[in-house]
Amino acid sequence: MKAKQYELWIADLNPRIGTETGKVRPVVIIQTDLLNKSHPSTVVCPVTTNVQPESHILRIHLKRGTANLKEDCDVMIDQIRAIDNSRLVHKIGQLDDSTRRKIKENIKIILDLE
């Protein structure tokens, strides 16, 4: 099964180096489906259960149950990274349109794209 943009997948991000996010954890697929069809790596944002409610640009808050998450979580916009497709374990859900738009907005802000 190929990953699609704005799906949540479990990924094995070990081993961790420096400030990278590690562990087996959910990630949001953020790269375009044009690449998802055949590219050997995938651009993702890791997801954490270490929720920081005061952070509104570097984090996107996801409530328990969103895309089948078992806990409240944050999408870590500041931890965008490319991972090899072999790190993707299985799909857990799909994000709604509102959350997709917020992720896009925040990525544009942190990368100064507009």
Give the CATH number of the domain where residue 85 resides: 2.30.30.110
The answer to which of 3-7, 16-20, 77-81 has the lowest mean pLDDT is 16-20
Residues 6+ apart with CB under 8 A from 83: 11, 13, 27, 41, 42, 44
Q: How far is residue 35 CA from its own chain's centroid?
A: 16
Q: Does a structural domain hold residue 1?
A: no
Q: Does a structural domain hold residue 16?
A: yes
Domain count, the chain: 1
> pTM for the full model?
0.93
Q: Does a structural domain hold residue 34?
A: yes
pLDDT of residue 19: 80
Q: Does a structural domain hold residue 30?
A: yes
pLDDT of residue 37: 87
Q: Does a structural domain hold residue 2?
A: no
Q: Does a structural domain hold residue 53?
A: yes
Domain limits for position 28: 7-110
85 backbone dihedrals φ, ψ, rounded to 5°: -60, -25
pLDDT in tens, 43-88: 999 999 999 988 889 999 999 999 999 999 999 999 999 999 999 9
